[in-house]
Structures are given as C-alpha cells and as structure tokens.
C-alpha cells in the first residue's frame, strides 16, 4: 500500500489555510498547517511532509527566511516546496527559485481549485 501523501501548508490567512486543508483532505492528502514562519520551522523539526506549500508574507519569520532555513538543514534540504503567495515580482521569483522551489503560484492569478490541482499534480509525481 503506498504511503499517504502529506502536505504542510504554511499560510497565515485562516480562510485559505482552511480551504486548502479541506480540499486536499478530500483528495486523500493528510494536511498539517502552520500560521507563521516560526511555527513552520517548529513543525518541521518533527514532520517530514511529502510537499510544503509556503506563503512568503508571514508573521515573525518571512517565507524566504523559512525557505533558506529549510534548505540549510540537511534533514529538510530536499523537501519539495511550492510558493503560494500574493507577493510576486521578478526579484521574489528569482529569490524563491534560487532555493530550488518546485513552482511559484501567485494567489491572485489562480482560484483555490486551481491551486489545489497544482499541488495534487506535484504530489502525484513525488
């Protein structure tokens, strides 16, 4: 029996966090959540999700710093990460892709269903 896929959703907007958790859960994905960069790094001390969905605009520790710390830690360095953020722009994209993210989704350009579809497509290949 294949191992259940898990996603850590790092998102400070409660409605989006809950929507992703609900829709991915219905697809058979186990979803864990964190509402700040600090909480995400704490969760990653014990959890090794199949995929991380990461917002960049987070309280306490921003998403790029979370990403940097994920990549610096040998235990989490190879975790697949998709950035899902309202924050775009060439510099943000360049910075995120310099940390080998799988994809960069700008929230305003996609519906919640399209974001979930993209996450499921990546999970299928992991």
- Band (pLDDT 50/70/90 cuts) for residue 93 is confident
The answer to whether residue 119 is domain-embedded is yes
Residue-level pLDDT at 7 = 98
Residue-level pLDDT at 1 = 42
d(CA 9, CA 17): 7
Pair of tokens at residue 23: 């829709």
The answer to whether residue 1 is domain-embedded is no
d(CA 93, CA 13): 21
Q: Which domain holds residue 119?
A: 6-124
The answer to whether residue 10 is domain-embedded is yes
Indicate the number of domains in the chain.
Answer: 1
Please say whether the beta carbons of 53 and 20 come within 8 A: yes
The answer to whether residue 27 is domain-embedded is yes
CATH number at residue 11: 3.40.50.2300
Is the sign of the CA dihedral 58, 62, 64, 68 positive or negative? negative
Residue-level pLDDT at 78 = 96
d(CA 102, CA 90): 16
* Section 99-115 average pLDDT: 93
């Amino acid at each position: 029996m294949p191992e259940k896929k898990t996603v850590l959703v790092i998102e400070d907007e409660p409605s989006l966090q809950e929507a992703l958790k609900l829709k991915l859960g219905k697809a058979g994905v186990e979803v864990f959540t964190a509402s700040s960069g600090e909480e995400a790094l704490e969760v990653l001390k014990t959890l090794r999700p199949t995929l991380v969905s990461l917002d960049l605009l987070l309280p306490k520790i921003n998403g790029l710093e979370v990403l940097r710390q994920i990549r610096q830690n040998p235990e989490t360095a190879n975790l697949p990460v998709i950035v899902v953020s309202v924050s775009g722009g060439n510099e943000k994209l360049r910075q995120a892709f310099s940390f080998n993210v799988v994809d960069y989704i700008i929230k305003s350009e996609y519906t919640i269903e399209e974001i979930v579809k993209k996450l499921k497509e990546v999970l299928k290949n992991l």
